[in-house]
């Protein structure tokens, strides 16, 4: 396979090690190498590598640059809360910390370029310098000049430097409207099922045979491949469920060769994992504990979203209910629901033709404070004084994100809210104050 990785200017065995570390990515690695050319030769000013998450983009870059000992700076754009950090890291890894210290507080691009130039005039590049930017899509959120400038950095600093952008978003979404220096696009295709199989089989459990593990992986992929192709996720799942898979073996019920039995043993288990671990409903730690428990029955560990019950003060409950009604009922139906003697308005009367889609499909609508209070007063059984704590309860419901405030916080008169809780949540709440909410919901009439 190392035949793919041949490039003059590098030692053979280095390339060999590289090739070994990059299973199923030889083609891309080879491509990159040939683009990079020999260390002292110029390379294309900016290369844009895109591909799905965990398709080995940063891994390949990292291995190449590390193993071949090329001068490089790797920056993750998530980390760069300010451009200063970006500049600092680049200068640091190219010219050492004294260069980085030259940066003024809150430096501009021009400062960066200036320092870079002066430094590289002192120590000109014998080899191509590489700047790798992970999660490059975040560069778009920084100031507009940064991306175009980086793309033509080679020209700006007059140094043999190459920018490599890594992202999982296509280039079209990057291009500024006045255009810019077009980088060289390179696509890292997703791993095929076979490749996944091959890669996952590599990190096998030391105490079991490789065949067994790959068989296991095969089963795993059978369940999850249709949902998720993320290598990281799959590896995680594989690690967590393997012990369960091996149970019959350890208990000596089944031989390793009898894959069918093993399959029947693990299959439902994996299905369950889809609901739980895959969604991080239960943490990996708990998942393992569960498996221990299941040996002696009832591993009924509830996931995070199972814990939806919230204890609320009495009036807060009613406020929430009122909010729910207000945001899922059309305002004009309030009369029918909350006025004592509405003269027998039947649903058909106030059903508009265009209202075929239910509000529970469209989601909550915003409503003004007055409407909320009006409904609240008519819903709550006892007479309530409009005390300060009623209003503070509304705002604290907002801070608890059970309500969301639509209008701006600074606007005092007629603030608008939305109810942000699910149907079954509100049902549970209204059950505790025995108020059957369904009777008051327009969609369920």
Partner 1 sequence: MSTSSVSKGCFVFKPSAKKKKTLSLEDHFIHGCEGTENSEMRFKLCQDLWDTIKTDTEVLQDELNRNILDSLLDFTRKCSSTRQHSDWASQMRASEIPTAALVLGVNVPDHDMTFQGLSELLQQSVTPHVASVQAKECGALKHLMKRVLERLMGAVVTVDDEEEEEEVEQTSAQLHNSVHCSLSTLCDWYNTKSKKSYTGTPGKKRSSPVKDDPQQPPLVIIFKDLEAFNPRVLQDFILICSRYIERLPLMFIFGIATSPSTIQHMLPHSVSSLLCIELFQSLSCTQHLATVIDKFILTTHFPFKLNGKVMQVMISIFLYHDFSVRNFIKGVQLALLEHFHSQPLSVLCCKNKEALLNVMQLGHQDLERIRQLPSFKRYIEKQEPQEQVNLSTDDAHIKEVCQRLIKDLHKYHKNYYPILRCLHTLTSSLPRYPLGKQIRELHLICLEKNVWENEEYQSAMRLLKMLAKDELITLLQKCVEILQLAKSKNMTSALVQLEDVLAKFKQLDVVAAEPPPSVEDCITSPVKNLQKKTDLFQLQKALLEMNESRRSKKLSPFEILRNEAIEFIDGLVKSHLSPPESQTLNEVCYYTSSATVRRHLNATPRTSIQTALNSPYYYLQNDRLKTEDGTVSNAAPDICIVYKLHLECGRLINLFDWLEAYATVVSAAEGNNPDFDNFGKVDDVKHARFIRAVSELEFLGFIKSTRQKTDHVARITWGGC
Partner 2 sequence: MSKRKSKDAHLPVGECITQLQEILRKRLCHQQLPDRPEGVEAQHKHLLELLKRTAVHGESNSVLIVGPRGAGKTMLLKCVLRDLLEETEAQTNLLQVHLNGLLQTNDRIALQEITRQLHLENVVGDKVFGSFAENLAFLLEALKKGDRSSSRPVLFVLDEFDLFAHHKNQTLLYNLLDVSQSAQAPIAVVGTTCRLDVLELLEKRVKSRFSHRQIHLLNNPTFTQYLERVQTQLSLSDDFPDNKFSRDWNASIETLCEDKSVAEVLQRHFNSSKDFRSMHMLLMLCLSRVSAAKPAIRPADLLEASKMCFADAKANMLHGLSILELCLIIAMKHLNDVYEGEPFNLQMVHNEFKKFLQRKSNSMYNFEQPVIMKAFEHLQQLEMIRPVDSSVVKTQREYRLMRLMLDHSQVMEALQKYPQCPTDVKQWAMSAFG
Would you list the DSSP string of 369-391?
HHHHHHHHHHHSSS-----HHHH
Stretch that binds partner 1, among 115-123, 180-188, 267-275, 389-397 (CB under 8 A): 389-397
From residue 323, give the alpha-carbon distance in Å to each of 58, 327, 421. Answer: 48, 6, 10
Q: How far apart are CA 319 and CA 215, in angstroms?
A: 56
Q: How far apart are CA 441 and CA 445, in angstroms?
A: 7
Among 169, 304, 339, 351, binds partner 1 (CB under 8 A): 304
**Minimum distance of partner 2 from residue 229's CB (angstroms):** 5
Nearest 10 degrees: CA dihedral of 50, 56, 60, 66?
120
- Taking Cα atoms as reference points, which of 369, 379, 384 lies closest to residue 433? 379
Burial class of residue 431 (count of CB atoms within 10 Å of its CB; 0-12, 13-18, 19+): exposed
**Minimum distance of partner 1 from residue 245's CB (angstroms):** 12
Length of the chain: 445
Q: Is there binding between residue 298 and partner 1 (CB under 8 A)?
A: no
Among 15, 19, 68, 84, binds partner 1 (CB under 8 A): 84
Between 40 and 232, whose beta carbon lies closer to partner 1? 232
Between 141 and 381, whose beta carbon lies closer to partner 2? 141
Q: How far apart are CA 143 and CA 83, in angstroms?
A: 9
Nearest 5°: the CA angle 153, 157, 159 is 95
Between 173 and 353, whose beta carbon lies closer to partner 2? 173
344: left (phi over 0), alpha (psi -120 to 50) or beta: left
**Minimum distance of partner 2 from residue 219's CB (angstroms):** 15
Q: Is there binding between residue 159 and partner 1 (CB under 8 A)?
A: no
Task: Give, for 116, the enclosing helix (H) or strand (E).
Answer: helix 109-122
Burial class of residue 390 (count of CB atoms within 10 Å of its CB; 0-12, 13-18, 19+): middle
**Minimum distance of partner 1 from residue 188's CB (angstroms):** 18
Among 176, 189, 222, 313, binds partner 1 (CB under 8 A): 313
Looking only at residues 336 through 375 of this chain, which bind partner 1 when binding is defined by CB under 8 A? 373
Q: How far apart are CA 293 and CA 275, in angstroms?
A: 18
**Minimum distance of partner 1 from residue 402's CB (angstroms):** 7
Residue 416's binding partner out of partner 1, partner 2, none, with CB under 5 to 8 Å set by partner kind: none
Q: Is there binding between residue 394 and partner 1 (CB under 8 A)?
A: yes
Q: Is there binding between residue 198 and partner 1 (CB under 8 A)?
A: no
Burial class of residue 36 (count of CB atoms within 10 Å of its CB; 0-12, 13-18, 19+): buried
**Minimum distance of partner 1 from residue 271's CB (angstroms):** 18
**Minimum distance of partner 2 from residue 94's CB (angstroms):** 18
* Dihedral sign computed on CA atoms, order 45, 184, 33, 234: positive
**Minimum distance of partner 2 from residue 335's CB (angstroms):** 26
- Taking Cα atoms as reference points, which of 264, 267, 241, 240 lies closest to residue 254? 264
The most distant pair of C-alpha atoms in the chain lies apart, rounded to whole Å, by 91
Residue 127's binding partner out of partner 1, partner 2, none, with CB under 5 to 8 Å set by partner kind: none
Stretch that binds partner 1, among 20-28, 100-108, 178-186, 267-275 (CB under 8 A): 100-108
Residue 419 β-bridge partners: 403
Q: Is there binding between residue 108 and partner 1 (CB under 8 A)?
A: no
Between 63 and 84, whose beta carbon lies closer to partner 1? 84
Among 413, 424, 434, 439, binds partner 1 (CB under 8 A): 413
Q: What is the CA radius of gyration of the chain?
A: 31
| Interaction pattern, residues 416-435, with partner 1; x per rule: CB under 8 A | --------------------
Between 298 and 349, whose beta carbon lies closer to partner 1? 298
Among 172, 179, 250, 285, binds partner 1 (CB under 8 A): 285
By CB under 8 A, name the binding residues for partner 1: 53, 76, 78-79, 81-82, 84-85, 88, 105-107, 205-206, 233, 235-236, 239-240, 242-243, 279-281, 283-286, 288, 304-316, 373, 385-396, 398-402, 409, 412-415
């Amino acid at each position: 396979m190392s035949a793919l990785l041949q490039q003059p200017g590098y030692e053979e065995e280095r390339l060999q090690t590289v090739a070994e570390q990059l299973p199923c990515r030889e083609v891309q690695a080879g491509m990159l190498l040939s683009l990079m050319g020999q260390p002292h030769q110029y390379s294309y000013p900016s290369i844009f590598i895109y591909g799905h998450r965990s398709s080995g983009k940063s891994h390949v870059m990292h291995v190449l640059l590390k193993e071949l000992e090329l001068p490089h700076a790797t920056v993750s754009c998530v980390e760069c809360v300010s451009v200063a950090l970006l500049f600092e890291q680049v200068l640091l890894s190219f010219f050492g910390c004294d260069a980085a210290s030259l940066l003024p507080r809150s430096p501009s691009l021009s400062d960066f370029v200036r320092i870079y130039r002066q430094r590289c005039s002192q120590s000109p590049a014998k080899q191509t310098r590489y700047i790798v930017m992970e999660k490059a899509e975040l560069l778009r959120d920084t100031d507009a000049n940064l991306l175009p400038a980086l793309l033509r950095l080679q020209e700006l600093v007059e140094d043999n430097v190459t920018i490599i952008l890594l992202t999982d978003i296509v280039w079209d979404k990057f291009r500024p409207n006045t255009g810019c220096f077009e980088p060289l696009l390179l696509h890292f295709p997703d791993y095929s099922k076979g490749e996944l199989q091959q890669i996952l089989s590599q990190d096998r459990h030391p105490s079991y045979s490789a065949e067994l593990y790959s068989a296991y992986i095969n089963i795993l992929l059978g369940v999850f491949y249709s949902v998720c192709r993320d290598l990281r996720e799959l590896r995680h799942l594989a690690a967590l469920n393997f012990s369960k898979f091996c149970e019959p073996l350890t208990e000596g019920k089944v031989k390793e060769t009898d894959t069918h039995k093993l399959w029947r043993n693990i299959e439902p288990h994996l299905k369950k994992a889809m609901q739980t671990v895959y969604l991080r409903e239960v943490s990996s730690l708990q998942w393992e504990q569960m498996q221990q428990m299941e040996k002696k029955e009832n591993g009924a560990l509830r996931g995070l979203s199972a814990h939806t019950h919230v204890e609320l003060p009495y009036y807060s409950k009613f406020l929430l209910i009122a909010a729910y009604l207000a945001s899922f009922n059309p305002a004009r139906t309030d009369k029918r629901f909350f006025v004592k003697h509405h003269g027998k308005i039947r649903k058909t009367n106030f059903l508009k033709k265009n209202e075929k889609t239910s509000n529970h499909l469209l989601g909550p609508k915003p409503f003004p404070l007055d409407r909320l209070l009006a409904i609240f007063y008519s819903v709550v059984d006892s007479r309530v004084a409009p005390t300060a704590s009623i209003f503070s309860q509304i705002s604290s419901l907002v801070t608890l994100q059970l309500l969301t405030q639509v209008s701006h916080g600074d606007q005092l008169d007629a603030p608008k809210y939305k109810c942000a809780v699910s149907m079954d949540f509100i049902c549970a709440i209204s059950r505790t104050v025995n108020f059957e909410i369904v009777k008051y919901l327009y969609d369920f009439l």
